[in-house]
Amino acid sequence: MNKIIVTGSSGLVGSEVCVFFEKNGYHVHGIDNNQRAVFFGSAGDTRWNQARLTSTLRNFSHHELDIRDRQGLHELVKKIRPDVIVHTAAQPSHDRAASIPFDDFDTNAVGTLNLLEAARQFSPEAPFIHMSTNKVYGDAPNRIDMVELETRWDYADPAYENGINENFSIDQSKHSLFGASKVAADIMVQEYGRYFNMPTVCLRGGCLTGPNHSGVELHGFLSYLVKCNLEQKKYTVFGYKGKQVRDNIHSYDIATFMQAFIKAPRCGEVYNLGGGKQNTCSILEAFLIAEEFSGLKQIYEYQNQHREGDHICYYSDLTKMKEHYPEWDITVSLRETIRQIVESWKKRINM
């Protein structure tokens, strides 16, 4: 039986990857220490998701380990010698990073290096899939000419009709400390692929979402937005008139792309991974869709100050991904994704 290591296994993407690959015949080794609860408090706790995996997956082993523990991580990879490594563990909030800069960098940059070196020593042939972020581009996308529409911003420059592609510069922009630590990890993953000829890939995610997200105000906007809607709590919109745009990709479609990469891996590759233009929405538009499925009016307040380094409009150009892996495509629409998030939160808050 093939073996896969998934870091951040109790998180949104990690848990989806665990379920997907266990169903596809892998023995899944999940690494998670519920650090999200440390970063975000009880609202970010993922123990419920860990319990779900442990109780429902026959070939799943949980490992309580912090990726900053270099020796522990190396010993585990040496023992398992995985056929695939999927690295989703991270400090994921650019707002939170400013108050915990060492925790952020040690988790995102050094933790990734710890895992890369363990992979090089003990499983160098294993495809190494790293969940990067579109924040590696910093706020440079805000310099693209924009047009303001009734409920959203969009690109006015025809060069970006399909979104941001992988040739977009990561230099000379404000990233947030989170974005900077993820840049360090992203470049290191590429370097291990190119320097050591290892099958590595950076997936620069847009808004990664799905029903198993423990969304909080500082990270996971769709999940948190829906939670606020169902609990009738006030949601705060930060700047840009609530018209800021994101592309949203369901965690299942992330897992299927990983499967495609594993079948035909490449060395030191980079892809912008998002829902693409067809799965974009602004915050105002997300309110309307959430209200449709919940039957409840969204309560919100507006603050004119936008978040540091926040994108006015960002969506991923999926052209390169589809050219390299033509059998892969988005299968879960934005509306279906939000419907699933509503149903999941209803169960969790016992509505």
- Tell me the average pLDDT of the chain: 95
pLDDT in tens, 233-288: 999 999 999 999 999 999 999 999 999 999 999 999 999 999 999 999 999 999 99
Average pLDDT score over residue span 213-240:
89
Q: What is the pTM of this model?
A: 0.94
Output the CA torsion sign for 272, 273, 279, 280. negative
Average pLDDT score over residue span 143-152:
98
**What is the predicted pLDDT for the residue at 310?**
86
**What is the predicted pLDDT for the residue at 351?**
56
Whether 5 shows a pLDDT value over 70: the answer reads yes
- Name the pairing type of β-strands 146-148 and 60-63: unpaired
On whether the 3-348 domain is CATH 3.40.50.1980, my answer is: no
Label residue 221 by pLDDT band (50, 70, 90): confident
**What is the predicted pLDDT for the residue at 135?**
94
pLDDT in tens, 68-125: 999 999 999 999 999 999 999 999 887 889 999 999 999 999 999 999 999 999 999 9
Domain boundaries, the chain: 3-348
Whether 218 shows a pLDDT value over 70: the answer reads no
